[in-house]
């Protein structure tokens, strides 16, 4: 399928998210769409897949101009998109989720659909349980389900928006093999949206680079990465440096903690985190990292064991009580449980900055919002609704909203979907907090990030947790072995 985007413009309020973008997608090729956060990649792909209507410009599919009013229409034309945050139906079962949107008559032929699902998953080499509930799957598994669903619907142009951010290295390698086969053997067009250069280099045949809503370059792969970097950022990357931690007393202590979620049981976790220390939780996606963090934050009741902060038990205290005590949690789903879509930056700032007064002072809230915007380099205005911000700017805002002087900061995928510059920025902000003596525990699907940012690393696998390892003594290679060791 040959698709041309012609002079696409998409305006949100005063923001030109896409500014006169024209590009062509040929069948049988894998295209990389590169750009830093807020460059307009997701917006352009949502326009292409019918989720958003362009302000102007048109989409030509196989020579015919088309109006893509809905995703359903786009899918009928053969254009399907896998979103950064999978748009599925968490309360439903995998099979039901698969069946929705499947063309058919009134009667739901479950046995036939089940077979179709299993066949398609089998072709792709994905392990799918039709009876599992979607909300119990990891992001990676939900992505696989979406790919299976889209391909079963006959999609010829597959768009993947930052698909590698929430998944393990093995899942990623498998995904890349599948995508290459789909494009080069089956003739599909694949658009791979990413800010990770090495992934685009290893996977794609051609790359388009966006910056500030405009198409600033295109290159056949392989090409010099330095050139791509320059196109993406317009300037060389800032170096990321870090000082050795100044470790204080034990702040957070977990003793024999067992947590259970729908699928996994993580037993007898013991480790401690000192003030001014960063501990990374490594392991395959869905090994209990989130559950552990949520237990520490008071959002999940552990089955057994004790969690203390500064010697005081925090189990059963409840999330809000812990937040007041200086224990904060930043979840992965920014717009699902981090920020409130529909409210502006200033409203968020006013929401969290309670000064005891029941009255709202909008002038002060706006001034405070302006300060946060400046201090956290957020690309937006106090009146900008948070859903109009890019992922990186949303994360900056989420960081800006955290109270100062925290004892413990728990982060789930703090840089998921963020470009190099934004990630570096986020970590600079986090390391500032470390300097203040905050104990930081985070999880990431990116092993490099865990290696680079942690002072100590706890490996989770097969329902158990390792003792913390000093980050200096661990390399990416032997982290893999560690995961295997814990397994035994």
Q: Which residues bind other proteins (CB under 8 A)?
A: 6-7, 9, 14-16, 19-20, 53-58, 65, 67, 69, 238, 319-320, 323, 329, 331, 335-343, 347-348, 350-352, 354, 357-360, 377, 379-380, 401, 421, 425, 428
**What is the spatial distance between Cα 319 and Cα 298, in angstroms, rounded to a whole number?**
4
In angstroms, the CA 115 to CA 117 distance is 5
Of 32 and 338, CB closest to other proteins: 338
Question: Coil, strand, or helix at residue 444?
Answer: coil
Nearest distance from residue 431's CB to other proteins, in Å? 13
- What minimum distance in Å lies between the beta carbon of 413 and other proteins? 15
CB of 192 vs other proteins, minimal distance in Å: 25
- Residue whose CB is less far from other proteins, 27 or 57: 57
Q: Note whether 387 and 342 are within 8 A (CB).
A: yes
Nearest CB to other proteins, comparing residues 303 and 352: 352
Residue 110 has a CB neighbour count (10 Å cut-off) of: 12
Closest CB to other proteins among residues 47, 457: 47
Nearer to other proteins, 111 or 358 (CB): 358
Closest contact distance (angstroms) between CB of 89 and other proteins is 16
How far apart are CB 411 and other proteins at their closest, in Å?
Answer: 13
Backbone angles phi, psi at 26, to 5 degrees: -100, 155
Q: Name the burial class of residue 404, with classes exposed (0-12), middle (13-18) and buried (19+) by CB atoms within 10 angstroms of its CB.
A: exposed
Residue 93 DSSP class: B
Closest by Cα among 269, 268, 291 to 412: 291
169 or 335, CB closer to other proteins?
A: 335
Nearer to other proteins, 69 or 249 (CB): 69
- Give min distance, CB of 367 to other proteins, in A: 16
Residue number with CB closer to other proteins (349 or 447): 349
Report helix angle 391-401 to 420-435, nearest 10.
10
> What is the C-alpha to C-alpha distance for residues 336 and 338, in angstroms, rounded to an integer?
6
The smaller minimum CB distance to other proteins, of residues 100 and 360, is found at 360
Contact criterion met (CB below 8 Å) for 84 and 69: no
CA distances from 480 to 128, 275, 451, 457, 477 (A): 24, 28, 12, 13, 6
Helical pair 362-375 and 345-352, crossing angle rounded to 10 deg: 100
Nearest approach in angstroms of CB 400 to other proteins is 12
Burial (0-12, 13-18, 19+ Cβ within 10 Å), 137? buried
Q: CA 89, CA 93: separation in Å to the nearest integer?
A: 8
* 246/262 with CB nearer other proteins: 262
Question: Residue 50 Cβ, how far from other proteins at the closest point, in Å?
Answer: 12
Beta carbon of residue 69, minimum distance to other proteins (angstroms, whole number): 7
157 vs 263: CA distance, rounded Å: 34
Q: How far is the CB of 35 from other proteins (least distance, A)?
A: 13
Backbone angles phi, psi at 266, to 5 degrees: -110, 120
Q: Which is nearer to other proteins, 349 or 458 (CB)?
A: 349
Instruction: Decide whether 107 or 235 has the Cβ nearer to other proteins.
Output: 235
Greatest CA separation for the chain: 69
Whole-number minimum distance, CB 7 to other proteins, in Å?
4
Strands (E) in 378-484, as ranges, are 408-412, 439-443, 456-461, 464-465, 469-470
Q: Judge contact between 257 and 293, C-beta under 8 A.
A: no
d(CA 47, CA 430): 34
Question: Is residue 327 classed as helix, strand or coil in its secondary structure?
Answer: strand
Nearer to other proteins by Cβ, of 237 and 265: the residue is 237
**Pairing assessment for the beta strands 206-211 and 327-330 based on DSSP bridges:** unpaired
Min dist CB 289 to other proteins, Å, is 17
Cα 113 versus chain centre, distance? 30
| CB within 8 Å of 256: residues ≥ 6 apart | 268, 269, 270, 304, 305, 306
Smallest gap from Cβ 255 to other proteins, in A, equals 26
């Amino acid at each position: 399928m040959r698709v041309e985007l012609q002079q696409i413009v998409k305006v949100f309020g005063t923001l030109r998210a896409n500014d006169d973008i024209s590009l062509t997608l040929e069948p049988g090729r894998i295209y990389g769409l590169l750009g830093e956060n807020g460059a307009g990649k997701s917006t352009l792909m949502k326009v292409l897949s019918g989720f958003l209507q362009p302000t102007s410009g048109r989409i030509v599919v196989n020579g015919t101009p088309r109006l893509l009013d809905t995703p359903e229409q786009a899918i009928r034309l053969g254009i399907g998109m896998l979103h950064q945050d999978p748009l599925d139906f968490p309360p439903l079962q995998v099979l039901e989720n698969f069946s929705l949107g499947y063309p058919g008559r009134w009667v739901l032929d479950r046995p036939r659909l089940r077979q179709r699902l299993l066949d398609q998953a089998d072709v792709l080499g994905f392990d799918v349980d039709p009876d599992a509930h979607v909300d119990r799957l990891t992001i990676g598994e939900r992505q696989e389900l979406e790919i299976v669903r889209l391909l079963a619907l006959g999609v010829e142009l597959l768009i993947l928006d930052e698909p590698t951010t929430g998944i393990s290295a093995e899942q990623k390698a498998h995904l890349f093999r599948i995508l290459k086969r789909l494009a080069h053997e089956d003739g599909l067009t694949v658009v791979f949206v990413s800010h990770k250069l090495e992934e685009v280099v290893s996977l794609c045949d051609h790359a388009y680079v966006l910056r500030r809503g405009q198409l600033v370059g295109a290159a056949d792969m392989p090409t010099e990465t330095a050139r791509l970097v320059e196109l993406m950022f317009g300037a060389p990357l800032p170096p990321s440096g870090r000082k050795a931690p100044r470790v204080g007393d034990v702040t957070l202590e977990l003793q024999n903690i067992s947590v259970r979620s729908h699928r996994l049981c993580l037993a007898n976790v013991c480790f401690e985190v000192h003030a001014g220390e960063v501990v990374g939780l490594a392991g395959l996606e869905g090994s209990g990292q989130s559950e552990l963090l949520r237990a520490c934050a008071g959002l999940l009741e552990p089955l057994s064991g004790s969690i203390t902060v500064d010697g005081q038990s925090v189990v059963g205290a409840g999330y809000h009580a812990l937040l007041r005590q200086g224990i904060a949690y930043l979840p992965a789903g920014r717009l699902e449980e981090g920020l409130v879509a529909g409210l502006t930056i200033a409203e968020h700032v006013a929401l969290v900055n309670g000064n005891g007064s029941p009255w709202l002072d909008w002038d002060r809230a706006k001034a405070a919002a302006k300060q946060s915007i400046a201090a956290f380099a957020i690309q937006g205005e106090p009146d900008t609704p948070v859903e109009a911000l890019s992922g990186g700017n949303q994360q900056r805002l989420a960081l800006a909203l955290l109270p100062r002087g925290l004892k413990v900061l728990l982060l789930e995928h703090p840089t998921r979907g963020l470009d190099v510059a934004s990630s570096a920025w986020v970590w600079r902000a986090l390391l500032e907090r470390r300097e203040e003596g905050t104990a930081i525990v985070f999880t990431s699907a990116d092993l490099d990030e865990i290696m680079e940012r942690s002072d100590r690393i706890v490996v989770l696998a097969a329902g158990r947790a390792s003792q913390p390892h000093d980050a200096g003594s661990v390399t990416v290679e032997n982290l893999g072995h560690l995961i295997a060791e814990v397994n035994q």
